[in-house]
Amino acid sequence: MINWKDGKVPSPPYYANIFNYFVGDDLEGYEEMDDVTLSLVHEIDGFLGYESHKANGRGSFISYWRDKEVIDQWRKNAQHQQAKSEGKQRWYKYYHSMLVKVESAHFHDLGQR
Any domain includes 33: yes
Any domain includes 70: yes
Task: Tell me the average pLDDT of the chain.
Answer: 95
Q: Which positions ≥6 away from 33 have C-beta within 8 Å? A: 82, 83, 86
Q: According to the model, what pLDDT value does residue 88 have?
A: 94
CA distances from 33 to 12, 58, 79, 101 (A): 30, 18, 9, 27
Any domain includes 83: yes
pLDDT of residue 46 exceeding 80? yes
CATH number at residue 49: 3.30.70.100
pLDDT tens readout for residues 53-86: 999 999 999 999 999 999 999 999 999 999 999 9
Q: Exposed (0-12), middle (13-18) or buried (19+): which is 108, by Cβ within 10 Å? A: exposed
According to DSSP, residue 110 is labeled -
Instruction: Determine if the pTM surpasses 0.95.
Output: no
Any domain includes 1: no
Domain that holds residue 79: 11-102
pLDDT tens readout for residues 86-99: 999 999 999 999 99
Any domain includes 84: yes
pLDDT band at 20 (very low <50, low <70, confident <90, very high): very high
Compute how many other C-beta atoms are within 10 angstroms of the C-beta atom of residue 29: 13
Any domain includes 113: no
Which SS3 state, helix, strand or coil, does residue 54 take?
strand
